[in-house]
Amino acid sequence: MEKKLPVTIDGREFQALPGQTILEVARQNGIYIPTLCYFPMTTPVGACRVCVVEVAGAKNLVASCAMPVSPGMIIKTDTERVREARKLVVELLWASGDHNCLMCESNGRCELQDLIYWLKIEKPRFDIKPPGYPIETTNTMIMRDLNKCVLCGRCIRACNEVQVNEVLDFYMRGSRMKVGPAFDSDYKNSICVFCGECMESCPTGAIINKQGRFAGRPWELQKVRTTCGYCGVGCQLDLNVHEGKVVKITSNKEYGPPNDGSLCVKGRFAADFIDHPDRLRTPLIREKGKLREASWDEALDVIAKKLASIRKKHGADSIAGLSSARCTNEENYLFQKVLRAVIGTNNVDHCARL
């Protein structure tokens, strides 16, 4: 067993594991430390300084998300010095961007908004000067408004470390620093695969789901957990429903495997088929050149009779089956079993192999 380290946080003694950060130990024991740049499953960088705490013997305040604990460490998370430092950081972030909550899609689920309220900041002490960047609306899936970006770097680490697509990074310096693909290009003209991981990690309204814009405020949306139907992996996701219609899809890292909150472009954005007027909702049987609706039992009876007739007339090898990647492994196993054991042919293939 690993030797545990004694740590004191806000006058209470805890046992920590070697390598744990102050933030991890605090959260593990129900002590709240605010964060903004911190993002699970990625490298802690301590960039925003919202999570600073006092550590006995340290000259400066310490970023709790990036500082490992040491034996006998004495930590204070809620002193006057800590509160003032956090307020200053949040006020600077507020003043440096266009954080108009009235028209922002993230109103109600914005971490910067939550911090401002938690710190009881009525107005920043600095003049608000948004950078005036043009809003990126060149693709149909993701909209970027860098005027709302707080340069936390979460989207960069989510793209590079979680999805390993390596599309995003910081460029320029100082007040001109921005986040985006190489050469300041937009998503559409970059190597972005539109997985939406950057959007899911963004703590503000800088990166939003364009398809769900003006379709419902966060508190109006009902989230329904389900399994993605685009392949057999079984990724977990949330259907965001408003007035009986799916308006967008989000993910949740708390659901765990198999996707741990990540989705592909189909799972996150290809939901238009749900309410499409051309979507097939019942089996159709062709009779005299025309299609009519039928029950599943009737449709399966027709299929069974047709296959039996073809096998009797032309032999089992005149029949072939093509399976789907949208089925589970178990369903695909049963499909090939029917072809081989019931019909008697090895003519079975899978769409993912073609």
CA distances from 108 to 117, 166, 210, 220, 333 (A): 11, 30, 17, 10, 45
User: pLDDT tier at 326 (50, 70, 90 boundaries)?
Assistant: confident
233 confidence band (pLDDT: 50, 70, 90):
confident
Q: What is the pLDDT of residue 353?
A: 67
pLDDT band at 231 (very low <50, low <70, confident <90, very high): confident
Angle 111-118/80-95 helices, nearest 10 degrees? Answer: 140
What mean pLDDT do residues 66-75 have? 95
d(CA 224, CA 201): 20
Domains and CATH numbers, the chain: 5-78 (3.10.20.740), 128-275 (3.30.70.20), 297-353 (no CATH)
| Full-model pTM | 0.85
Tell whether the model's pLDDT for residue 329 goes beyond 90: no
In this predicted structure, the answer to whether residue 23 has a pLDDT above a threshold of 60 is yes
Residue 11 has pLDDT above 80, yes or no: yes
pLDDT digit string (tens) for 208-227?
Answer: 999 999 999 999 999 999 99
pLDDT class of 1 with cuts at 50, 70, 90: low
Q: Tens digits of per-residue pLDDT, 147-158?
A: 999 999 999 999
- 132, 149 in Cβ contact below 8 A? no
Mean pLDDT of the chain: 93
Name the E strands within the chain: 5-9, 12-16, 52-55, 62-63, 73-76, 142-144, 169-171, 178-180, 207-209, 222-227, 236-242, 245-250, 284-287, 290-293, 321-323, 348-350
Buried/exposed 151-189: b ≥16 CB within 10 Å, e otherwise: bbbbbbbbbbebbebebbeeeeeeeeeebbbeeeebbee
Q: For residue range 163-188, list pLDDT tens digits in order.
A: 999 999 999 888 889 999 999 999 99
Place of tokens 């090939």: 336
Query: Would you say residue 354 has pLDDT above 60?
Result: no
Mean pLDDT over 27-35 rounds to 96
Q: What is the per-residue pLDDT across 255-267, written as a single tens digit (0 to 9) for each? A: 999 999 999 999 9
